Chain A
Amino acid sequence: MEDVKKNEGWIDKTLPVDWDKVKEEAVGEILPHHMKLWWYCLGGVPAIMFLILIITGIMLAFHYVPHPDMAYESVVKISTQIPYGWWLRSIHRWSAEIMIVTVSLHAIRVFATGAYRHPRELCWMTGAILLLLTFGLGFTGYSLVYTQMSYWAMTIGTGIAAKTPLIGPFLSRFMLGGEAIGEATLNRFFILHAAILPSITFFMVFVHIVLIRLHGVTEHLVGIQREVVKGLSRGDE
């Protein structure tokens, strides 16, 4: 007991953080009743999936080779030869799938209940950017496997970009790193998928969550009686 007490004192002195306050800030939020319906909390699912994707993505990057001759081979090797590679890759793939589905459902829910209205415009805007980033991550990740499907997804994706007015051809060339899919394309997609897009997404998720905490949860627009909305309850009960 003496030791433990000394230890606690040392931690408190070297890391002067009021943990009770941190806990209160992190999980003690006051929530309206309707937040106990799971479809109002769809935003949390993609956030958790994103964390899982970061961890498994870093793991997969240890064995993935972004080169046209090696990309598919290395993916096959991860799935068939490296211990538990299949496990990590499956988690990465299904988390990505769940993230895209739940992000879309979250956007639909926010739109349908009018939760974007004043003063939460910024939250909606960052959310819209996050939706696009999620699709971008899905597209680049799908391309990295470098199967026939990936190849044609890349072709179609860059083809769509090429149809943008004025800057289209430049955009397409920039994405491909040349005139056609090749070594440079795979490198670009890999850097986008594993470095640039996740960094922006991480930052945006942070801003999105800070904005939610600053504004609190939206009051229900219609359909729920005032009493129910006013009857607040602690989030941890």
Chain B
Amino acid sequence: MNEKDGGGTEVSRRDFLANAAMTVGLVATLGTAGVYGVRYLVPKTKVKKFIDVLVTNLKELTPGEAREFIDATGRKGILVNHNGNVKAFSKICTHLGCEVEWQQQKKEFYCPCHEGFFDADGKNIKGPPPRPLDEFKVTVKDDNIYVALEEV
């Protein structure tokens, strides 16, 4: 490195530490960038898997009533028994992501943020929501209600 301290074979402590710090910094920075870059380009290969989860039963969910549930990732859903026909929807409004509420009298889902309404089948009927609520598959077996949730 330095001509003064004998033929360039010896490296001073200062130079060594400076070079080591620079190398560690560069490896950490470029390494992180490289890993991020590769992960950015690799396409998703995971196929979504669903499993039936027991949520409640028909004795507890009488016609007209609704019941909230949360899946393993923390996303909220709502089960509704509309005239004996059980359906499950995501609670997330399709407009800007507020939580919808089931209004038992009107038999409608209501989003309080921007006055959005969905009917009992999850269809957007009034207000700004652009599309129906996301729906989960529901299976009723021996009065038990199962909802197909994404496996984590």
A residues near B (Cβ < 8 Å) are 59, 62, 82-85, 87-88
A59-B37, A59-B40, A83-B39 known, 10 other contacts, Cβ within 8 Å: A59-B41, A62-B40, A62-B41, A82-B40, A83-B40, A84-B36, A84-B37, A87-B36, A88-B36, A88-B40
CA distance A88 to B39 in the complex (A): 11
Distance in angstroms from A209 CB to nearest chain B CB is 23
The 6 residue pairs across chains A and B that have the minimum distance between CB atoms: A84-B36, A83-B39, A84-B40, A84-B39, A87-B36, A83-B40
* Count of A-B residue pairs with CB < 8 Å: 20
Distance in angstroms from B30 CB to nearest chain A CB is 11
CB-based nearest B residue for A63:
B40
B residues near A (Cβ < 8 Å) are 36-37, 39-42
Distance in angstroms from A195 CB to nearest chain B CB is 20
Give chain B residues whose Cβ lies under 8 Å from the Cβ of A82: 40
Distance in angstroms from B44 CB to nearest chain A CB is 9
Distance in angstroms from B9 CB to nearest chain A CB is 14
Give chain A residues whose Cβ lies under 8 Å from the Cβ of B36: 83-84, 87-88
Give chain A residues whose Cβ lies under 8 Å from the Cβ of B40: 59, 62, 82-85, 87-88
Distance in angstroms from A79 CB to nearest chain B CB is 12
Distance in angstroms from B31 CB to nearest chain A CB is 14
Q: List 19 interface pairs A-B (beta carbons < 8 Å), by A numbering.
A: A59-B37, A59-B40, A59-B41, A62-B40, A62-B41, A82-B40, A83-B36, A83-B39, A83-B40, A83-B42, A84-B36, A84-B37, A84-B39, A84-B40, A85-B40, A87-B36, A88-B36, A88-B37, A88-B40
Distance in angstroms from A155 CB to nearest chain B CB is 25
Give chain B residues whose Cβ lies under 8 Å from the Cβ of A84: 36-37, 39-40
Distance in angstroms from A65 CB to nearest chain B CB is 15
CA distance A62 to B39 in the complex (A): 13
Distance in angstroms from A72 CB to nearest chain B CB is 14
Distance in angstroms from B79 CB to nearest chain A CB is 28
CA distance A88 to B36 in the complex (A): 9
CA distance A82 to B39 in the complex (A): 9
CB-based nearest B residue for A60:
B40
CA distance A88 to B41 in the complex (A): 11
Distance in angstroms from B78 CB to nearest chain A CB is 24
Give chain A residues whose Cβ lies under 8 Å from the Cβ of B37: 59, 84, 88
CA distance A85 to B41 in the complex (A): 9
Distance in angstroms from B14 CB to nearest chain A CB is 13
